[in-house]
Structure 1
Amino acid sequence: MALLRGMGRTLGRMTGRPVAYLDKDADDPQMPLARAAAAAGDWPALRALLEASSESGNRTALVWAIADTQGVEQWIGRAIEAEPASAMPRLVGGFRQITWGWEARTSLRAQHVSREQFRTFHERLQQGEEWLYEAAELEPRWSAPWYGLLVTGRGLQVGPEIARRRFEATVRRYPQHLGAHDQRLQQVCEKWGGSHEEMHAFAREAVFGAPAGTMLGGLVAEAHIEQWLHLDGGEDDAYMRLPEVRESLHAAAEHSYRHPEFVRGRSWASLLNAFAMAFSLAGDREAARECFELTEGRVTESPWNYLDNDPVAAYRKQRSAAGR
């Protein structure tokens, strides 16, 4: 990654643009360490990494990286049994059940998922809920277990009231929790039983109810992209080019990454990539170009994977179209 960034600086001087690369780990050197230890089943090393991190730092990202590693389900149960008073292995186990559950379900639409796949999916999420609730009881100040329960709840379709309570429990502990807000946005969008109106209202309230310079600004862009995805061909592009859509994107940009109080948090690249795609779809080349410049070539998988299976290729295409 360091070599790639160096190439980006060199080629940037030659071409006026940095090399685009998939920024999977937010340039966090602990992420590959966590994956390697997870693959090796080295729980003591993982515990040390997690205990040295914080919820407002990179702990949740490390937990997701561990949970995405194949084979964790084979040894995490033993770690949980060996530490009956510890929340950390239960947190990891709960998140692994989430990713393992979705591996069984796949990303296909519900009508293409078999009954057996759904049964396995629900069983794994239910086990995840059990461990996450235990973690929440052992560490009542932690937001991460409640964040995980937001994800399991969506898969298990716990209903709007329980989903709302889990979101509120998360943000009471961590008011500007990006992951929790992203999950809540999904929960209230039309494809998960909500509506476009509810989704946009939530995004606006979350963004403009937060202090100026908030990292939550990308919620407005994500909401417009969600509605764009829902619409048929032709209607989708027409929607994104509506004057009110552009106006709302600019308002959110002014309240977030354009504001003097904005400080790049861990997920700054995700925020700017979401705005870059939204402004590109809206036909606002100048605003899109500004976002592409600010990303410094760092590409996040979402939302570009909606345009192409290769997010970097989609990013490059839209960046070129914006004249960057």
Structure 2
Amino acid sequence: MALLRQWGLTLGKWAGKPVARVQEDSGDPDVRRVREAAAAADWSAVRAVLEARPESGDRTELLWAVGDTDGVERWIAGVLEAEPEAALPRLVAGIRHISWGWEARTSARAKDVSREQFEVFHARLRTAEEYLYEVAEREPLWTSPWYGLQITGRGLQVGQTTARRRFEATMRRDPGHLGAHQQQLQQVCDKWGGSHEEMHAFARASAFGAPAGTQLGQLVAIAHLEHWLSLDAGPDAAYMRRPEVTASLREAADHSFRHPDFVRDGGWIQVLNTFAMAFSLAGDRDAARECFGITDGRVTEFPWYYLNGSDPAAAYRKQRSSIGR
């Protein structure tokens, strides 16, 4: 579930440089608070934190903090019985079943996932869909259920037409929702039935169709990293070092985090980490140094786990050193 969350860090000092260790929050105290409440099966505290962050404020990260917590699937059942008409506990149950489903599937390649694992995976995603559709019906203005349905849809292979409709439903409620755009970009990747051409076109249309200074410029960098990831060793490096890739990254950076209207809130650290990785792989040392300087040791799991799945912070440090930062 790493692509679905934004992650934070803790900082230390070693040889005068920030030393980052990835941890499960992004500096927002509510993330830690709601995770601790979920682990303690304290629904009153979970509800208080979630209700204090309205849908318009994008509570995606808070929902994943709950959904990724072991045991939520057990105690949320009692809440559903006690509050049969409430939408929020159904939203929590839906998000938990998504995360719980991916726990069963694991991050292994499809060929390495057993039939039994896939059966559990699909069963949990179907349960998640039931909850999320109930929420969407009860709270038609909420974004979160449609965002969740984008994720379940990819796992259940609902097809590109249905997936696009779910993305559009999210967009009608929140046109700038970064997580929803990230999910749709994954949907149109070659590995999920799309193509490199469709992926790049979607990334550019989303980034440059939005006002300057938004976080959606990240999509251009993600698309190049996904393209790089799909290639064998050798061609992957050659792809990232194409002049047109560097030019594309610079253009997206200018329209996004370099723009004076860019606001450092929400997922901004992940945006800068993504550009840091992309620029460093592209060999654009000055741009990479700029991004590493801004992140200042603050590491997000995505995208660095593409380079080192067991230690994203080590991948960050290695790339930072490679450009002399």
- Mark yes or no: TM-score above 0.5: yes
Q: What corresponds to 2:54 in structure 1? A: 54
Partners of 1:182 and 1:43 in 2: CA distance: 30
Q: What corresponds to 1:218 in structure 2? A: 218
Partners of 1:112 and 1:19 in 2: CA distance: 35
Q: What corresponds to 2:273 in structure 1? A: 273
Q: Is the 8 A contact 1:100 1:124 kept in 2?
A: yes
Q: Is the 8 A contact 2:228 2:240 kept in 1?
A: yes
Q: What corresponds to 1:202 in structure 2? A: 202
Q: Is the 8 A contact 1:150 1:163 kept in 2?
A: yes
Partners of 1:239 and 1:149 in 2: CA distance: 33
Q: What corresponds to 2:323 in structure 1? A: 322
Partners of 1:202 and 1:135 in 2: CA distance: 28
CA drift of 1:228 comes to: 0.4
Q: How does 1:116-265 map to 2 (within 5 A)?
A: 116-265=116-265
* SS, match of residue 57 in structure 2: coil
For 2:276, the aligned partner's letter is: A
Measured against aligned partners, the alpha-carbon deviations of 1:95-130 in whole angstroms (never above 9, x if no partner) come to 000000011111111111111111111110000000
Q: What corresponds to 1:295 in structure 2? A: 295
CA drift of 1:58 comes to: 5.3
Partners of 1:56 and 1:282 in 2: CA distance: 36
Structure 1 stretches of at least 4 aligned residues deviating more than 6 Å after TM superposition: none
* SS, match of residue 18 in structure 2: coil
CA drift of 1:23 comes to: 5.4
For 1:184, the aligned partner's letter is: Q
Structure 2 vs 1, CA of residues 224 and 4 (structure 1 numbering), >3 Å: closer, same or farther? Answer: closer
**Is 204-213 or 26-35 further displaced after alignment?**
26-35
Q: Alignment length, in residue pairs?
A: 317
For 1:322, the aligned partner's letter is: I
Q: What corresponds to 1:311 in structure 2? A: 312
Measured against aligned partners, the alpha-carbon deviations of 1:177-211 in whole angstroms (never above 9, x if no partner) come to 01100000000000000000000000000000000
RMSD: 1.6
For 2:89, the aligned partner's letter is: P
Q: What corresponds to 2:3 in structure 1? A: none
Q: Is the 8 A contact 1:24 1:300 kept in 2?
A: no
Partners of 1:41 and 1:25 in 2: CA distance: 19
For 2:286, the aligned partner's letter is: E
Measured against aligned partners, the alpha-carbon deviations of 1:25-78 in whole angstroms (never above 9, x if no partner) come to 111112222112111211111111110112243522111011100011111122
> Identity rate of aligned residues, in percent?
66
Q: Flag structure 1 segments of 5+ consecutive residues without an equivalent.
A: none
Query: Normalising by structure 2, what TM-score?
Result: 0.94
Partners of 2:112 and 2:19 in 1: CA distance: 38
* SS, match of residue 19 in structure 1: strand
**Is 33-42 or 250-259 further displaced after alignment?**
33-42
For 2:266, the aligned partner's letter is: R
Q: How does 1:68-83 map to 2 (within 5 A)?
A: 68-83=68-83
CA drift of 1:4 comes to: 5.0
Partners of 2:324 and 2:26 in 1: CA distance: 26
Q: Is the 8 A contact 1:276 1:292 kept in 2?
A: yes
Query: Normalising by structure 1, what TM-score?
Result: 0.95
Partners of 2:238 and 2:196 in 1: CA distance: 16
Partners of 2:183 and 2:115 in 1: CA distance: 25
Partners of 2:87 and 2:128 in 1: CA distance: 13
Q: Is the 8 A contact 2:101 2:124 kept in 1?
A: yes
Q: Is the 8 A contact 1:24 1:301 kept in 2?
A: no
CA drift of 1:93 comes to: 0.3
Measured against aligned partners, the alpha-carbon deviations of 1:254-313 in whole angstroms (never above 9, x if no partner) come to 000011111112100100000000001001111000000011211000111111121111
